[in-house]
Structure 1
């Protein structure tokens, strides 16, 4: 299967061997399938129709992955590529995920109202996704770094008893598997993977209302 994938030279190895690229699609598919199944279980078995968080996260990952795939195909210029994550923010805005009342470090809790949906959410998704995308270049950075942050977000969610933590189980497992092979230079996830991982970080932090945790985690990489 890997032999059929497009290959790119590994600039960090002698002889620049060709390495399969675009394995980020595996992350997108596995995560989306898991989240759709989870949504179906919550909807049909648990009769929980109020918060389609699994469906929202799946939609964001699919949008992010497609934007990355488009960039892999067309090699979009940065002046345009930087704004592609805005499309991945649409499910969060339309379904109105997250809470408009946020804690700030200097002014306490502030209710941002519509500003939260139309400015803060797009900003979080755009900045986070582009930050992860720019980590590509050294083998493993674009997968290991977001996997570490995802692990941290999961731990924080579990510690605070957030039910949304279940959303990250499959995405986190597959991201670490890809990170292992990516770090060894066996595969590249491409922009498909980096866009999808970045979108996952942003979307989950918004859904679980732990944007501050994401901000602290992502600052070292900006």
Structure 2
């Protein structure tokens, strides 16, 4: 049974099932397809630019005849511009992404060294209202909060352990993103009762949507936001009426 209303949809790396992940095109597609929020990932270049990319290296995403290998932390911004992504896309800066996205943005901090710089950049650029900082790394969120204790934060985990419980309490996170394999209705209700919204991930198949609905999550992170919403709406419509 569905535990509550249709969750809001988070576009994972934009709409990465339909457009090259973590690109301006993917973000635009996610918003156009109805994502309530957009999730993206950040790293720091060798010369201090915060850029949007999932992996620590460009090896998986690079195509074409330009630069196809290298660690982001060891490359300059100019060198990263030599990397061609699928569809002729390029790796964007976080500023370009935040300027382009007109819904709330979940900034996942992949590299700890990016935490301070991206927190300062969000403050200086006037992006705080639309930005929510998330990470698997509690220490990255702590660094963000050192820049501004008022920033909104969220912790990501595959399962709940004492480490996650302590971090959620100590950091005052407003959101907890939990993998469906570690998510139960009781777990979701536990955090919601404490004022923490819960996000289920990854939403890739009908079974994932069913798990999110049964668990009563507030958000579902999906590679195809429009599909996730349609599937959730169809499941709700199929529920027997009392």
Superposition TM-score, scaled by structure 1 size:
0.24
Structure whose residues are more often helix by fraction: 1
Tell me which of the two structures has the higher relative contact order, counting C-alpha pairs closer than 8 angstroms and 6 or more residues apart: 1
Higher strand share: 2
TM-score by length of 2: 0.23
